[in-house]
Amino acid sequence: MSAFLERVGVALPVFQAGMGGGTAGHELAAAVSEAGGLGTIGIVDPSRLRREIASARRLTRKPIAVNLLLPFARRGHWEAAADADVVVTFWGAPRRRTAGVWIHQCGSVQEAVAARAAGADAVIAQGVEAGGHVRGTVPALELLERVRAALPGYPVLMAGGIAGPPDVRQALEAGAAAVVSGTRFLLSEESAAHPGYKRRLVQARETIVTELFGLGWPGAPHRVVPNQATRRWLRRNPLGPAAVQALQRATGPLVGRLPASAVNRLTAMQRTGLPLFGPGSPLAGSPPALLDAAPLYAGASVARIGDVRPAGELVRELGG
């Protein structure tokens, strides 16, 4: 076991990505951690985040992480995150806001260097093939090599393209301290993604990078599986119609400050014919219409995943 994994308190170099909005809740995080990896609770309202951490503690004594998206993290989020063992941050200028283990996910060497200078205990090199919101612009293995060269001896994890044991072995042989996987754990029994969302990902063979689902978070590229919304609105520009992008930029400061409960209500009202698409993905219990009007986040590795399995089983397979 590496010194970094020993410090975090995990046995296997397998970290689950903190998919926000409720997709990665306490059940998924606890199952991953209990199996020897590091489970992560995605960002939700501060009060709910605190409850999710407490619920995970009732299911496992192993370490639990939380993922905070910096554009949306408020004081209450940081206060709640103090109850976790690890804080992972993403999408913003890195700055230490926790006394515990802090990991920052990066899409460039420059961002990784800035994170270390700010006191991060490790960084995640996110490749362009990753699902969800994508900061990386080059393949994960290439970025891993560049970051390790710039920060010798410093723990660098890798995200993007992790679907099975060969991917993990390749990343570890390239020097990664651990791997971070999102899509493989989204397709687990414990993830809160809508069952129809999971079915579509199991059947998916392609993904696209767009900015279509950017209401409240403009200018943030994201990788998704195509649905009716993308087929209707991305015919001329894969990022989205210019008018839609302009509307997102104009309303971003307002929508981005709404509480998650209000954003969830807006998401539930989304329709394919009205190009006002927010970043919330379909959860269990969501209206089935959202499968075609909300983002179906998935990494490029989704084409190599063909089933939904228990998270603990996935951790043991990936880390074996």
- Locate the domains of the chain by residue range: 3-191+305-319, 208-297
Identify which of 240, 239, 283 has the alpha carbon closest to the alpha carbon of residue 260.
Answer: 283
Range list of β-strands (E), 121-248 = 122-126, 132-133, 156-159, 179-181, 208-210, 222-224
Instruction: Please give the CATH number for the structural domain made up of 3-191+305-319.
Output: 3.20.20.70
Identify which of 12, 132, 18, 181 has the alpha carbon closest to the alpha carbon of residue 86.
Answer: 18
Rounded Cα gap, residues 316 and 312, in angstroms: 6
User: Quick one: pLDDT at residue 1?
Assistant: 64
Q: Residues near 253 by Cβ (< 8 Å), separated by ≥ 6?
A: none
Query: CA separation (Å) from 120 to 85, 92, 97, 123, 227?
Result: 14, 13, 10, 7, 38
- Both structure tokens of 61: 């004594």
CB 91, CB 133: distance < 8 Å? yes
CB 296, CB 230: distance < 8 Å? no
Rounded Cα gap, residues 100 and 64, in angstroms: 12
Rounded Cα gap, residues 93 and 300, in angstroms: 27
Per-residue pLDDT of the chain (320 residues; tens, 9 = 90+): 689 999 999 999 999 999 999 999 999 999 999 999 999 999 999 999 999 999 999 999 999 999 999 999 999 999 999 999 999 999 999 999 999 999 999 999 999 999 999 999 999 999 999 999 999 999 999 999 999 999 999 999 999 999 999 999 999 999 999 999 999 999 999 999 999 999 999 999 999 999 999 988 999 999 999 999 999 999 989 888 888 888 788 876 676 666 666 666 777 778 888 888 889 999 999 999 999 999 999 999 999 999 999 999 999 999 98
- Both structure tokens of 242: 């210019």
Rounded Cα gap, residues 135 and 211, in angstroms: 12
Within 10 A of 110 (CB to CB), how many other CB atoms are there? 11
Per this entry, what is the length of the chain?
320
CB 39, CB 211: distance < 8 Å? no
Query: CA separation (Å) from 173 to 168, 170, 179?
Result: 9, 5, 11
pLDDT tens digits for range 17-53: 999 999 999 999 999 999 999 999 999 999 999 999 9
The burial class, CB within 10 Å (0-12 / 13-18 / 19+), for 22 is buried
